[in-house]
Amino acid sequence: MNRLGFDNDKYLQMQSALIRERIDKFGGKLYLEFGGKLFDDYHASRVLPGFHPDSKITMLLQLKDQAEIVIVINSADIEKNKVRGDLGITYDLDVLRLIDAFRGNGLYVGSVVLTRYQGQPAADAFQARLEALGIRVYRHYPIPGYPSDIATIVSDEGYGINDYIETSRSLVVVTAPGPGSGKMATCLSQLYHENKRGIQAGYAKFETFPIWNLPLKHPVNLAYEAATADLNDVNMIDPFHLEAYGETTVNYNRDVEIFPVLNAMFQKIYGESPYKSPTDMGVNMAGNCIIDDEAVRAAANQEIIRRYYAALCDERTGLGSPETTYKIKLLIQQAGISEEDRPVIAAALAKEAATGEPAMAIELNDGRILTGKTSTLMGSASAMLLNALKASAEIPDETLLMSREVIEPIMELKTGHLGNHNPRLHTDEILIALAICAVNDPVAKKAMDQLPALKNCEAHSTVMLSQVDVNTFRKLGIHLTCEPKHQTKKLFHK
């Protein structure tokens, strides 16, 4: 369990060398599209065990004196309050978080771009908020016939209607809170505007997934399809690369569709295109840094199953569609896996059947599976968490880490003074109580010290958990899935 499958140091060296080479290729200015997540690419760290979530920012810091950041966000995502799944915050709030994070690392954030702007009220409100904070905001608009009508797109009626983004540095890093935000279109629009102003500029893409030199149906690439199923992304063989070099490589549909546009733009700018394929555009050495393919395959298969259960829960709450769920189910079939490959699911369901109450199961990094049941004092998530800490610390199962005298006053506070109807302790409340007990109780302290050991463990709940519990497991690094059902039949759930 928890085997390393990826050499992060090798990745940093190879990736940074390739980026520097690409910068040298274009004189004057380079627009570098950063796909995925810059600071906390937890998807990459889950499917490539050993990948550090902050690897991209580590490389970017080596170029911070010549780099500026442009953050793009799809106006439609603002309007529908799209949530970043791994952090539980909306995309617009993540833009503010990213700006703070970039600035905290000494990186210059030049502006924010609202893409696909069509007068959305929420986008207008967000722009006003950003401008009140002193951040420059630009608007880009939908283009009729995009991406097939190249003549219109590469014209004053296409990219020409977009705001020109004022930049001041030679390396412009274009990033976003999540996929489908319009990063590539923003870069291409800027190349068009720069050319009109007589400024030579180039483009390159820093995208981790799909990994071009892994097989099309490798679990890592299938996991990327599962992660972007709501965007209708599909991995495919790069036909341009196959024709130009006779080499089979993997890309995805949006890059393949947009390549003729990019190719036509470069031909207008330089007289010829520096790229023969979408794969050529990329700077991705991740596939060269996999050191244990079996470990990577196992991790990616787990991610596909997790994405499936997340889609089921989104569909249950009205945040997702049956189409997305069905697409991921097909990916599960393509990967040749099933729910049985996630042992915590069967363990949790068996515990629920035995107790008649919601239950949870967790698989520790040594392979042991433990469960937690619902009681009068705490929910199954809290019970499971305490059981996992006791097992990791080799504390006997019958040992009480905290007495009723500690728990009951908290329950009374919740129901008697704070207006809560559910007296059971959530995971964050249990951990706070355990931390207080650990001050004078060495056994409780021993259990608390095992919290880091729960990172990368797999867990499953037979009901959808509250956001409080979901956030606690996320912070602990526990990979959670839930059955798509609520604990009660109420219409309102928190």
Q: Would 388 be classed as within a structural domain?
A: yes
User: Looking at the 3D structure of the chain, how many domains does it have?
Assistant: 2
Q: Read off the pLDDT of residues 374-423 as tens digits, 9 standing for 90 and up.
A: 988 889 999 999 999 999 999 999 999 988 888 888 888 888 888 887 77
Q: Would 297 be classed as within a structural domain?
A: no
Q: Would 2 be classed as within a structural domain?
A: no
Task: State whether 109 and 171 are in the same domain.
Answer: yes
Find the CATH number of the domain harbouring 412: 3.40.140.40
Task: State whether 350 and 244 are in the same domain.
Answer: no
Structural domain ending residue among the three candidates 290, 306, 326: 290
Cis peptide before 147, with omega less than 30 degrees from 0? yes
12-34: b (≥16 Cβ within 10 Å) or e: bebbbebbeebbeebeebbbbbb
- Give the residue from 388, 403, 351 showing the smallest Cα distance to 373: 351
Domain residues for the domain of 141 are 8-221+232-290
Strand-strand pairing, 171-175 and 89-90: unpaired
Give me the residues paired with residue 175 across strands: 71
Q: Would 329 be classed as within a structural domain?
A: no
Q: Are 276 and 266 in contact (CB under 8 A)?
A: no
Q: What confidence score (pLDDT) does residue 123 get?
A: 97
Q: What confidence score (pLDDT) does residue 482 get?
A: 98
Q: Would 1 be classed as within a structural domain?
A: no
Q: What confidence score (pLDDT) does residue 17 get?
A: 85
Task: State whether 276 and 356 are in the same domain.
Answer: no
pLDDT band at 492 (very low <50, low <70, confident <90, very high): very low
Q: Read off the pLDDT of residues 87-110 as tens digits, 9 standing for 90 and up.
A: 778 999 999 999 999 999 999 999
Q: Record the pTM.
A: 0.85
Instruction: Provide the Cα torsion 274, 278, 282, 285; round to 10°.
Output: -120
- Give the residue from 343, 349, 84, 324 showing the smallest Cα distance to 228: 324
**Residue in the block written with tokens 């295109």:** 273
Output 122 or 422, whichever has higher pLDDT: 122
Find the CATH number of the domain harbouring 139: 3.10.630.10
Task: State whether 87 and 158 are in the same domain.
Answer: yes
Structure tokens, 312: 């089921």
Does residue 491 register a pLDDT over 80? no
Task: State whether 285 and 397 are in the same domain.
Answer: no
Mean pLDDT, rounded, for 484-488? 85
Mean pLDDT, rounded, for 290-306? 97
- Identify which of 19-28, 229-238, 365-374 has the greatest average pLDDT: 365-374
Q: Does residue 479 sit in helix, strand or coil?
A: strand
Structure tokens, 422: 């559910």
Q: Would 375 be classed as within a structural domain?
A: yes
Give me the residues paired with residue 282 across strands: 205
Q: Where are the beta strands (DSSP E) in 231-325?
A: 235-237, 250-252
Q: What confidence score (pLDDT) does residue 490 get?
A: 61
Q: Would 195 be classed as within a structural domain?
A: yes
- Intra-chain end-to-end CA distance of the chain, in Å: 34
Task: State whether 178 and 86 are in the same domain.
Answer: yes
Distances (CA, A) of 239 to 4, 159, 250: 33, 26, 9
Q: Would 475 be classed as within a structural domain?
A: yes
Task: State whether 442 and 353 are in the same domain.
Answer: yes
Structural domain ending residue among the three candidates 270, 290, 310: 290
Residue 126 CA to residue 273 CA, distance in Å, equals: 38
Q: Read off the pLDDT of residues 327-363 as tens digits, 9 standing for 90 and up.
A: 999 999 999 999 999 999 999 999 999 999 999 999 9
